[in-house]
Copies of this chain bind each other. A is one copy, B any other.
Amino acid sequence: MLEWTRGQAVGEIDTPALILDIAAAERNIRAMADRLIHGSVRLRPHVKTHKCPLLAHKQMAAGAIGVTAAKLGEAEVMIRAGIPEVLVSTPIVGRTKIDRLLALSRHAIVLTVVDDVGAARAISDAATRVGQKIPVLVDVDVGQRRTGVLPGEPALALARQVATMPGLVLVGLQGYEGHLQHVQSRDEREAHWRASMEKLTDTADLIRGAGFPLDIVSTGGTGTSTFALEAPGITEIQPGSYVVMDDHYGTVQGVGFEQALFVLTTVVSRTRTTDVIVDAGMKALSSDSGPPRVRGIEGAQYVFAGDEHGRIEFADQGSNLRVGDRVLLVPSHCDTTINLHDHYHVIEDDRLVEVWPISARGRIR
Protein backbone atom coordinates (compact mmCIF):
# COMPACT_ATOMS: atom_id res chain seq x y z
CA MET A 1 0.00 0.00 0.00
CA LEU A 2 2.87 2.31 0.83
CA GLU A 3 4.22 4.16 -2.18
CA TRP A 4 7.73 5.55 -2.08
CA THR A 5 10.76 5.97 -4.30
CA ARG A 6 14.34 5.83 -3.10
CA GLY A 7 15.97 9.20 -3.57
CA GLN A 8 12.74 11.20 -3.32
CA ALA A 9 13.22 14.62 -1.81
CA VAL A 10 11.52 15.00 1.58
CA GLY A 11 9.06 17.38 -0.03
CA GLU A 12 7.89 14.65 -2.42
CA ILE A 13 7.07 12.01 0.19
CA ASP A 14 3.36 11.23 0.46
CA THR A 15 1.87 12.38 3.74
CA PRO A 16 1.33 12.09 6.61
CA ALA A 17 4.69 10.37 6.99
CA LEU A 18 6.82 9.61 10.02
CA ILE A 19 10.32 10.81 9.18
CA LEU A 20 13.52 9.49 10.77
CA ASP A 21 16.73 11.48 10.28
CA ILE A 22 18.97 8.46 10.55
CA ALA A 23 22.26 10.40 10.84
CA ALA A 24 20.88 12.28 13.85
CA ALA A 25 19.55 9.05 15.39
CA GLU A 26 22.94 7.38 14.93
CA ARG A 27 24.68 10.36 16.54
CA ASN A 28 22.26 10.04 19.48
CA ILE A 29 22.95 6.31 19.79
CA ARG A 30 26.68 7.03 19.78
CA ALA A 31 26.39 9.96 22.21
CA MET A 32 24.57 7.89 24.85
CA ALA A 33 27.10 5.07 24.52
CA ASP A 34 29.99 7.54 24.79
CA ARG A 35 28.45 9.07 27.89
CA LEU A 36 28.72 5.69 29.65
CA ILE A 37 31.93 4.38 28.14
CA HIS A 38 34.26 5.29 30.99
CA GLY A 39 31.97 4.43 33.88
CA SER A 40 30.64 1.24 35.36
CA VAL A 41 27.01 1.90 34.44
CA ARG A 42 25.84 -0.17 31.50
CA LEU A 43 23.21 0.60 28.91
CA ARG A 44 20.06 -1.47 28.35
CA PRO A 45 18.05 0.91 26.14
CA HIS A 46 14.27 0.80 26.12
CA VAL A 47 12.84 -0.24 22.76
CA LYS A 48 9.29 0.75 23.65
CA THR A 49 10.12 4.11 22.05
CA HIS A 50 11.39 3.12 18.60
CA LYS A 51 9.88 -0.41 18.31
CA CYS A 52 12.31 -1.16 15.50
CA PRO A 53 14.73 -4.14 15.59
CA LEU A 54 17.29 -2.48 13.33
CA LEU A 55 17.61 0.48 15.70
CA ALA A 56 17.96 -1.98 18.58
CA HIS A 57 20.79 -3.73 16.73
CA LYS A 58 22.48 -0.36 16.22
CA GLN A 59 22.22 0.22 19.97
CA MET A 60 23.73 -3.21 20.63
CA ALA A 61 26.57 -2.50 18.18
CA ALA A 62 27.27 0.73 20.08
CA GLY A 63 27.73 -1.21 23.31
CA ALA A 64 24.32 -1.89 24.86
CA ILE A 65 24.27 -5.10 26.95
CA GLY A 66 20.73 -5.93 25.82
CA VAL A 67 17.49 -4.04 25.50
CA THR A 68 14.50 -3.26 27.68
CA ALA A 69 10.93 -3.78 26.49
CA ALA A 70 7.66 -2.68 28.06
CA LYS A 71 5.66 -5.68 26.93
CA LEU A 72 6.32 -9.31 26.04
CA GLY A 73 5.05 -8.58 22.53
CA GLU A 74 7.90 -6.14 22.00
CA ALA A 75 10.38 -8.66 23.43
CA GLU A 76 9.10 -11.27 20.97
CA VAL A 77 9.72 -8.96 18.03
CA MET A 78 13.22 -8.12 19.23
CA ILE A 79 14.24 -11.70 19.98
CA ARG A 80 12.93 -12.95 16.65
CA ALA A 81 15.14 -10.27 15.06
CA GLY A 82 18.18 -11.60 16.88
CA ILE A 83 18.49 -9.43 20.00
CA PRO A 84 19.99 -11.87 22.54
CA GLU A 85 18.81 -10.39 25.84
CA VAL A 86 15.66 -8.48 26.80
CA LEU A 87 14.43 -7.14 30.12
CA VAL A 88 10.62 -6.88 30.22
CA SER A 89 10.21 -3.92 32.53
CA THR A 90 6.56 -4.41 33.51
CA PRO A 91 5.02 -7.24 35.56
CA ILE A 92 3.95 -10.33 33.59
CA VAL A 93 0.57 -11.53 34.81
CA GLY A 94 -1.72 -14.31 33.63
CA ARG A 95 -1.30 -17.78 32.22
CA THR A 96 -1.19 -16.82 28.53
CA LYS A 97 1.65 -14.37 29.10
CA ILE A 98 3.60 -16.72 31.39
CA ASP A 99 3.45 -19.40 28.69
CA ARG A 100 4.76 -16.88 26.16
CA LEU A 101 7.56 -15.87 28.54
CA LEU A 102 8.64 -19.49 28.97
CA ALA A 103 8.50 -20.17 25.23
CA LEU A 104 10.57 -17.07 24.52
CA SER A 105 13.11 -17.88 27.24
CA ARG A 106 14.20 -20.98 25.34
CA HIS A 107 15.68 -18.76 22.62
CA ALA A 108 17.15 -15.76 24.42
CA ILE A 109 17.78 -14.38 27.88
CA VAL A 110 14.54 -12.81 29.09
CA LEU A 111 14.56 -11.02 32.42
CA THR A 112 11.46 -9.61 33.99
CA VAL A 113 10.25 -7.80 37.10
CA VAL A 114 7.96 -8.75 39.98
CA ASP A 115 6.23 -6.69 42.65
CA ASP A 116 3.68 -9.23 43.89
CA VAL A 117 4.23 -12.55 45.65
CA GLY A 118 1.34 -14.28 43.93
CA ALA A 119 2.36 -13.14 40.45
CA ALA A 120 5.96 -14.19 41.14
CA ARG A 121 4.84 -17.59 42.37
CA ALA A 122 2.71 -18.15 39.26
CA ILE A 123 5.79 -17.60 37.08
CA SER A 124 7.93 -19.79 39.31
CA ASP A 125 5.42 -22.63 39.34
CA ALA A 126 5.02 -22.61 35.56
CA ALA A 127 8.79 -22.38 35.02
CA THR A 128 9.42 -25.23 37.45
CA ARG A 129 7.00 -27.47 35.58
CA VAL A 130 9.09 -27.13 32.42
CA GLY A 131 12.48 -27.09 34.15
CA GLN A 132 13.24 -23.41 33.55
CA LYS A 133 14.49 -20.65 35.80
CA ILE A 134 13.48 -17.06 34.99
CA PRO A 135 15.78 -14.23 36.09
CA VAL A 136 13.78 -11.53 37.85
CA LEU A 137 14.32 -8.09 39.31
CA VAL A 138 12.25 -6.90 42.23
CA ASP A 139 10.42 -3.79 41.02
CA VAL A 140 10.70 -0.92 43.52
CA ASP A 141 8.56 2.21 43.57
CA VAL A 142 11.06 5.07 43.89
CA GLY A 143 8.35 7.71 43.80
CA GLN A 144 6.46 7.25 40.54
CA ARG A 145 3.41 5.62 42.18
CA ARG A 146 3.05 3.08 39.40
CA THR A 147 4.31 -0.47 39.76
CA GLY A 148 6.80 -1.56 42.41
CA VAL A 149 6.90 -2.42 46.08
CA LEU A 150 7.95 0.25 48.52
CA PRO A 151 11.70 0.60 49.10
CA GLY A 152 13.29 -0.83 52.24
CA GLU A 153 11.60 -3.59 54.21
CA PRO A 154 8.73 -4.31 51.76
CA ALA A 155 11.27 -4.84 48.97
CA LEU A 156 13.40 -7.04 51.22
CA ALA A 157 10.36 -9.09 52.19
CA LEU A 158 9.52 -9.72 48.53
CA ALA A 159 13.16 -10.50 47.71
CA ARG A 160 13.21 -13.10 50.50
CA GLN A 161 10.13 -14.78 49.05
CA VAL A 162 11.44 -14.68 45.48
CA ALA A 163 14.71 -16.23 46.62
CA THR A 164 12.80 -19.28 47.85
CA MET A 165 10.97 -19.83 44.56
CA PRO A 166 12.58 -22.62 42.53
CA GLY A 167 11.54 -21.30 39.12
CA LEU A 168 12.99 -17.81 39.65
CA VAL A 169 16.48 -16.40 40.07
CA LEU A 170 16.66 -13.12 41.95
CA VAL A 171 19.15 -11.03 39.96
CA GLY A 172 18.47 -7.46 40.91
CA LEU A 173 16.25 -4.46 41.48
CA GLN A 174 14.48 -2.09 39.12
CA GLY A 175 13.40 1.39 40.18
CA TYR A 176 12.23 3.59 37.35
CA GLU A 177 11.98 7.28 38.17
CA GLY A 178 9.55 8.07 35.36
CA HIS A 179 8.10 10.98 37.29
CA LEU A 180 11.41 12.85 37.13
CA GLN A 181 12.32 12.51 33.45
CA HIS A 182 10.67 15.76 32.41
CA VAL A 183 11.54 18.01 35.36
CA GLN A 184 12.77 20.97 33.32
CA SER A 185 15.42 22.43 35.64
CA ARG A 186 18.58 20.37 35.55
CA ASP A 187 19.42 21.12 39.20
CA GLU A 188 15.93 20.32 40.45
CA ARG A 189 15.83 17.13 38.39
CA GLU A 190 19.19 16.04 39.74
CA ALA A 191 18.23 16.74 43.37
CA HIS A 192 15.01 14.71 43.09
CA TRP A 193 16.91 12.02 41.24
CA ARG A 194 19.54 11.67 43.96
CA ALA A 195 16.82 11.24 46.57
CA SER A 196 15.08 8.61 44.43
CA MET A 197 18.30 6.74 43.73
CA GLU A 198 19.22 6.72 47.41
CA LYS A 199 16.00 4.83 48.10
CA LEU A 200 16.90 2.34 45.41
CA THR A 201 20.56 1.81 46.32
CA ASP A 202 19.80 1.73 50.06
CA THR A 203 17.27 -0.99 49.33
CA ALA A 204 19.85 -2.88 47.28
CA ASP A 205 22.30 -2.62 50.20
CA LEU A 206 19.64 -3.84 52.61
CA ILE A 207 18.85 -6.88 50.48
CA ARG A 208 22.49 -7.69 49.87
CA GLY A 209 23.13 -7.30 53.60
CA ALA A 210 20.47 -9.93 54.23
CA GLY A 211 22.46 -12.36 52.15
CA PHE A 212 20.98 -12.02 48.68
CA PRO A 213 23.43 -11.03 45.97
CA LEU A 214 22.06 -8.57 43.37
CA ASP A 215 23.91 -8.14 40.10
CA ILE A 216 21.59 -5.57 38.61
CA VAL A 217 20.28 -2.24 39.87
CA SER A 218 18.40 -0.78 36.89
CA THR A 219 16.88 2.65 36.52
CA GLY A 220 17.04 5.70 34.37
CA GLY A 221 15.42 7.31 31.38
CA THR A 222 16.62 9.85 28.87
CA GLY A 223 16.04 12.78 31.20
CA THR A 224 18.17 11.41 34.02
CA SER A 225 20.76 9.56 31.93
CA THR A 226 23.07 12.52 32.22
CA PHE A 227 23.47 11.82 35.96
CA ALA A 228 24.04 8.09 35.65
CA LEU A 229 27.83 8.23 35.50
CA GLU A 230 27.97 9.69 38.99
CA ALA A 231 25.66 7.09 40.46
CA PRO A 232 27.37 4.64 42.78
CA GLY A 233 25.21 1.58 43.21
CA ILE A 234 23.40 1.88 39.88
CA THR A 235 24.57 -0.81 37.46
CA GLU A 236 22.54 0.04 34.37
CA ILE A 237 20.10 2.47 32.82
CA GLN A 238 17.22 1.95 30.39
CA PRO A 239 16.63 5.18 28.42
CA GLY A 240 14.49 5.05 25.28
CA SER A 241 13.59 8.46 23.88
CA TYR A 242 17.18 9.65 23.33
CA VAL A 243 17.43 7.88 19.96
CA VAL A 244 14.79 10.07 18.34
CA MET A 245 13.80 12.70 20.95
CA ASP A 246 10.63 14.81 21.02
CA ASP A 247 9.48 18.32 21.73
CA HIS A 248 8.63 17.56 25.36
CA TYR A 249 12.18 16.35 26.05
CA GLY A 250 13.42 19.28 24.01
CA THR A 251 12.26 21.60 26.81
CA VAL A 252 14.15 19.68 29.51
CA GLN A 253 17.48 21.31 30.38
CA GLY A 254 20.72 19.46 29.82
CA VAL A 255 19.37 16.37 28.06
CA GLY A 256 21.62 16.91 25.07
CA PHE A 257 20.37 14.81 22.17
CA GLU A 258 19.26 15.82 18.68
CA GLN A 259 15.74 15.80 17.28
CA ALA A 260 15.68 12.93 14.76
CA LEU A 261 11.92 12.34 14.44
CA PHE A 262 9.37 14.36 12.50
CA VAL A 263 5.93 14.05 11.01
CA LEU A 264 5.70 15.38 7.47
CA THR A 265 2.32 16.81 6.59
CA THR A 266 0.72 18.55 3.60
CA VAL A 267 -1.39 21.69 3.51
CA VAL A 268 -4.74 20.44 2.17
CA SER A 269 -6.90 23.52 2.69
CA ARG A 270 -6.44 27.26 2.91
CA THR A 271 -9.69 29.13 3.02
CA ARG A 272 -8.76 31.72 5.67
CA THR A 273 -5.86 34.17 5.86
CA THR A 274 -5.11 33.28 9.47
CA ASP A 275 -4.40 29.58 9.17
CA VAL A 276 -4.05 26.52 6.95
CA ILE A 277 -5.29 22.97 7.45
CA VAL A 278 -2.80 20.08 7.21
CA ASP A 279 -3.46 16.35 6.80
CA ALA A 280 -1.97 15.14 10.10
CA GLY A 281 -4.28 14.97 13.10
CA MET A 282 -4.69 12.79 16.17
CA LYS A 283 -4.23 9.59 14.15
CA ALA A 284 -0.77 10.74 13.00
CA LEU A 285 0.43 12.62 16.09
CA SER A 286 -0.20 11.77 19.73
CA SER A 287 -1.78 14.54 21.79
CA ASP A 288 -1.03 13.33 25.32
CA SER A 289 1.89 15.77 25.69
CA GLY A 290 0.28 18.62 23.80
CA PRO A 291 0.51 19.72 20.18
CA PRO A 292 3.55 19.19 17.97
CA ARG A 293 5.87 22.08 17.16
CA VAL A 294 5.96 23.52 13.64
CA ARG A 295 9.51 23.47 12.36
CA GLY A 296 10.94 26.35 10.42
CA ILE A 297 7.96 28.75 10.37
CA GLU A 298 8.39 31.61 12.79
CA GLY A 299 5.42 32.05 15.12
CA ALA A 300 3.34 29.24 13.58
CA GLN A 301 1.33 27.15 16.04
CA TYR A 302 -0.20 23.73 15.40
CA VAL A 303 -3.65 23.12 16.90
CA PHE A 304 -5.28 19.65 16.71
CA ALA A 305 -8.35 19.77 14.46
CA GLY A 306 -9.66 16.23 14.75
CA ASP A 307 -8.52 12.74 13.89
CA GLU A 308 -7.11 13.62 10.48
CA HIS A 309 -6.39 17.34 10.53
CA GLY A 310 -4.35 20.03 12.19
CA ARG A 311 -4.74 23.78 11.96
CA ILE A 312 -1.53 25.78 11.62
CA GLU A 313 -2.16 29.28 12.88
CA PHE A 314 0.21 32.08 11.97
CA ALA A 315 1.47 34.92 14.08
CA ASP A 316 2.25 36.64 10.78
CA GLN A 317 -0.82 36.57 8.56
CA GLY A 318 1.41 37.01 5.57
CA SER A 319 2.52 33.38 5.60
CA ASN A 320 2.80 32.12 2.08
CA LEU A 321 1.90 28.50 2.74
CA ARG A 322 -0.33 27.17 -0.01
CA VAL A 323 -2.32 24.03 -0.66
CA GLY A 324 0.13 21.25 -1.51
CA ASP A 325 3.04 22.64 0.55
CA ARG A 326 4.76 20.34 3.03
CA VAL A 327 5.34 21.18 6.69
CA LEU A 328 7.59 19.34 9.16
CA LEU A 329 6.25 18.86 12.67
CA VAL A 330 8.21 17.88 15.77
CA PRO A 331 6.09 15.38 17.76
CA SER A 332 5.41 16.31 21.37
CA HIS A 333 5.78 12.69 22.55
CA CYS A 334 7.85 10.27 20.51
CA ASP A 335 6.68 6.92 21.99
CA THR A 336 2.97 7.40 21.44
CA THR A 337 3.45 9.08 18.05
CA ILE A 338 5.68 6.30 16.69
CA ASN A 339 3.06 3.79 17.86
CA LEU A 340 0.56 5.35 15.42
CA HIS A 341 2.72 4.63 12.36
CA ASP A 342 3.61 1.48 10.47
CA HIS A 343 6.84 2.77 8.90
CA TYR A 344 9.78 5.08 9.36
CA HIS A 345 10.64 7.11 6.28
CA VAL A 346 14.39 7.16 6.71
CA ILE A 347 16.06 10.27 5.33
CA GLU A 348 19.67 11.28 4.77
CA ASP A 349 20.66 14.67 3.35
CA ASP A 350 16.97 15.47 2.86
CA ARG A 351 16.42 12.44 0.63
CA LEU A 352 14.40 9.31 1.32
CA VAL A 353 16.83 6.40 1.47
CA GLU A 354 14.85 3.62 3.15
CA VAL A 355 11.46 2.71 4.60
CA TRP A 356 11.63 0.57 7.74
CA PRO A 357 8.72 -1.25 9.36
CA ILE A 358 7.96 -0.33 12.96
CA SER A 359 7.72 -4.00 13.73
CA ALA A 360 6.64 -3.76 17.36
CA ARG A 361 3.98 -1.10 16.78
CA GLY A 362 0.79 -2.03 18.55
CA ARG A 363 2.41 -4.81 20.60
CA ILE A 364 0.62 -3.84 23.76
CA ARG A 365 0.43 -7.34 25.23
Q: Give the B-binding residues of A (Cβ under 8 A).
A: 1, 3, 14-16, 48, 70-71, 73, 76, 90-91, 93-94, 96-97, 100, 115-116, 118-119, 139, 141, 145-150, 154, 178, 266-272, 275, 277, 279-280, 282-284, 286-288, 304-309, 311, 322-324, 335-336, 339-342, 362-365
Contacts and interface: CB of A to CB of B under 8 A. Distances in A.
A14 B342 CA distance: 23
B307 A48 contact: yes
A147 B141 CA distance: 48
Contact of A288 (B277, B282, B309): B282
Contacts of A279: 90, 93, 364
Contacts of A268: 90-91, 93, 119, 147
B269 A365 contact: no
A14 B72 CA distance: 12
Nearest to A13: B96
A136 to B, nearest CB: 14
Contacts of A154: 271
Contact of A309 (B15, B147, B363): B147
A80 B100 CA distance: 35
B277 A93 contact: no
B323 A93 contact: yes
The list of the 5 closest CB pairs from A to B, nearest first, reads A147-B269, A14-B96, A91-B268, A93-B268, A287-B288
A306 B90 CA distance: 12
Given A277-B146, A307-B48, A284 B364 contact: yes
Given A287-B288, A340-B364, 16 more contacts: A14-B97, A16-B364, A91-B269, A93-B266, A93-B268, A116-B270, A118-B323, A282-B286, A282-B336, A283-B335, A283-B336, A284-B364, A288-B288, A307-B336, A308-B364, A339-B340
A244 to B, nearest CB: 14
Nearest to A308: B70
Nearest to A341: B362
Nearest to A48: B307
A73 B307 CA distance: 14
A11 to B, nearest CB: 10
Contacts of A323: 91, 93, 116, 118-119
15 contacts: A3-B100, A16-B365, A90-B268, A90-B279, A90-B308, A91-B268, A93-B323, A115-B269, A141-B271, A145-B311, A147-B268, A147-B269, A282-B286, A282-B336, A307-B335
A93 B324 contact: yes
Nearest to A150: B271
A195 to B, nearest CB: 19
